[in-house]
Amino acid sequence: MFKKFKTSSSVGQLLAWLWEKGYQLPKPERRGDFMKYEMVDANYSCLVHMLQNPKYAGLYVYPRFRLETSVLPDGTVIKKKRPTRSGEWQVCLEDQHPGYITLAEYEANVEKIAMNAPRHSPDSRGAANKGSALLSGLITCRRCHHKMRVHYRKRGGVSYYCQPDKRQRVNGHSCCFTITGDELERQLSEQILYAIGPAGVKAAQLASDRLAAERATARSILSNELEQLRYNADLARRRFDNVDPANRLVLDTLSSELEVALQSVAERESRLARFDCDEPQRPTPEEQAELERLGSRLETVWYDVEADGRLKQQIVRVLIEHVLADVDETSNESVLWVHWSGGHHTELRAPRGGRRGRKPPIDLPKVINTLRKVTNDEEISRALNRRGVPTERGESWTKRRVSRYRERNDIPHLMRTCNVHPVGFRSRRPLPI
């Protein structure tokens, strides 16, 4: 389980793998002075507890738990017990017993779970998901330092947008900006493929070896379980044989125990037989060569529509520490500053998308100055409202607002001596906007 979590992106992915393989976990249960372990199906909280428990790294720590008290707005007091983190330990003794993992591996597991925590936590990235957005959870707004969210467009493609929370809006910050991710992600993919290209062939060779190793581990687990069940059945049989045949009550109990034990052995034997029947064919030399050829053409695999988005996000997260995003207003470009894990920085630029069809900004004084030559303030307000042009404060136009605007900008009112009749304006003639 600990070994698999190294290559899993989240606890959820590990849980899905355990369910798929049918692996169970021991659940401790106190029976009087003894502790009994029962094998049960894995669940999420049990996995998180095991992965964050320092005992599995051979540590003795104190305190293990901490009581946190919080008060709700309605005055309700809530007390919650939560496991302590390494910085909160008053006592920490290493190598107290043989551990399944090292201290470094334990800390990496705790860090991974924390980084996958819900996205409202400022430092977390969120777990890698099935979406195609490469920078999901990694990209931060350079203006307000908040995580940018992903939007998958209906027609395909990805956008990232910064949506400040309620507190920021109250403080007067509106939504920062939206950037189109397609071109930037293409440039980023090129850089990533350049970085991991040499490892591609080796990865392909390791892939089949790793599959074989995983299968050997799975068979060993099944085989050990079968051995344990056979021992239990043998023990039950010996107990049954030694009991006095006259003691019917004990005889019946032991008989049913023996029956259950034998059924478990039969079930596990058939499961092992099925496992051996399903032995996948190892790749032939030709297939191995094909695998290596594919490894050398990572680009094809990367851009394949069937490529696993979660895997790509995991690769990106290994290579990239974090990404800052902003918009360059002068050149009208989206800009990303990529901070690679090695400490290098790369700047990526792409023309801003999503502006197709947007109306260009209008020169309001010029437009009103033109309109007032042919019509009065009331008609001007209607004309501007029809075209969806708001006032400077974002409001709709009224006769009074047009008059005030003209006064502020020294624009004269309609000259009645003008030859053009205002009715001409109602005929939906295109405005000079």
143 binds Zn ion (CB under 5 A): yes
CA distance 172 to 169: 5
Instruction: Return the number of the residue (105 or 333) whose C-beta is nearest Zn ion.
Output: 333
The distance of closest approach from Cβ of residue 431 to Zn ion in the complex, given in angstroms and rounded to an integer, is 35
The distance of closest approach from Cβ of residue 166 to Zn ion in the complex, given in angstroms and rounded to an integer, is 14
Site string for Zn ion, 333-352 (x = CB under 5 A): --------------------
CA distance 27 to 351: 56
Instruction: Return the number of the residue (110 or 141) whose C-beta is nearest Zn ion.
Output: 141
Instruction: Return the number of the residue (165 or 287) whose C-beta is nearest Zn ion.
Output: 165
Closest CA to 383 of 416, 326, 427: 427
The distance of closest approach from Cβ of residue 32 to Zn ion in the complex, given in angstroms and rounded to an integer, is 59
324 binds Zn ion (CB under 5 A): no
Site string for Zn ion, 33-52 (x = CB under 5 A): --------------------
Q: Which stretch binds Zn ion (CB under 5 A): 91-99, 161-169, 278-286, 315-323?
A: 161-169
Instruction: Return the number of the residue (175 or 206) whose C-beta is nearest Zn ion.
Output: 175
Q: Which stretch binds Zn ion (CB under 5 A): 84-92, 126-134, 172-180, 393-401?
A: 172-180
The distance of closest approach from Cβ of residue 332 to Zn ion in the complex, given in angstroms and rounded to an integer, is 18
176 binds Zn ion (CB under 5 A): yes
Site string for Zn ion, 95-134 (x = CB under 5 A): ----------------------------------------
> Which neighbouring-strand residues pair with 29?
36
Amino acid at 134: L
Q: Which stretch binds Zn ion (CB under 5 A): 125-133, 141-149, 203-211, 333-341?
A: 141-149
Three-state SS sequence of the chain: CHHHHHHCCCHHHHHHHHHHHCCEEEEEEEECCEEEEEEEECCHHHHHHHHCCHHHHCCEEECCEEEEEEECCCCCEEEEEEECCHHHCCEEECCCCCCCCCHHHHHHHHHHHHHCCCCCCCCCCCCCCCCCCCCCCCEEECCCCCECEEEECCCCCEEEECCCCHHHHHCCCCCCCEEECHHHHHHHHHHHHHHHHHHHHHHHHHHHHHHHHHHHHHHHHHHHHHHHHHHHHHHHHHHHHHCCCCCHHHHHHHHHHHHHHHHHHHHHHHHHHHHHHCCCCCCCHHHHHHHHHHHHCHHHHHHCCCCCHHHHHHHHHHHEEEEEEEEECCCCEEEEEEEECCCCEEEEEEECCCCCCCCCCCCHHHHHHHHCCCCCHHHHHHHHHHCCCCCCCCCCCCHHHHHHHHHHCCCCCCCCCCCCCHHHHHHCCCCCC
Instruction: Return the number of the residue (143 or 151) whose C-beta is nearest Zn ion.
Output: 143
139 binds Zn ion (CB under 5 A): no
Instruction: Return the number of the residue (229 or 325) whose C-beta is nearest Zn ion.
Output: 325
CB count within 10 Å of CB 158 equals 20
Candidates 141, 222, 320, 368; binder of Zn ion (CB under 5 A) is: 141
Q: Which stretch binds Zn ion (CB under 5 A): 4-12, 73-81, 169-177, 220-228?
A: 169-177
Instruction: Return the number of the residue (18 or 141) whose C-beta is nearest Zn ion.
Output: 141
- Joined together, the tokens standing for residue 41 give 């199906």
Instruction: Return the number of the residue (10 or 178) whose C-beta is nearest Zn ion.
Output: 178
Instruction: Return the number of the residue (4 or 143) whose C-beta is nearest Zn ion.
Output: 143
The distance of closest approach from Cβ of residue 139 to Zn ion in the complex, given in angstroms and rounded to an integer, is 11
Instruction: Return the number of the residue (144 or 364) whose C-beta is nearest Zn ion.
Output: 144
Q: Which stretch binds Zn ion (CB under 5 A): 78-86, 174-182, 214-222, 228-236?
A: 174-182
Instruction: State the number of binding residues for Zn ion (CB under 5 A).
Output: 5
144 binds Zn ion (CB under 5 A): yes
Site string for Zn ion, 357-396 (x = CB under 5 A): ----------------------------------------
Cα 165 to chain centroid distance, Å, stands at: 19
For the chain, the C-alpha Rg in angstroms (whole number) is 34
Instruction: Return the number of the residue (92 or 175) whose C-beta is nearest Zn ion.
Output: 175
Please give the residue ranges that form the binding site for Zn ion (CB under 5 A). 141, 143-144, 162, 176
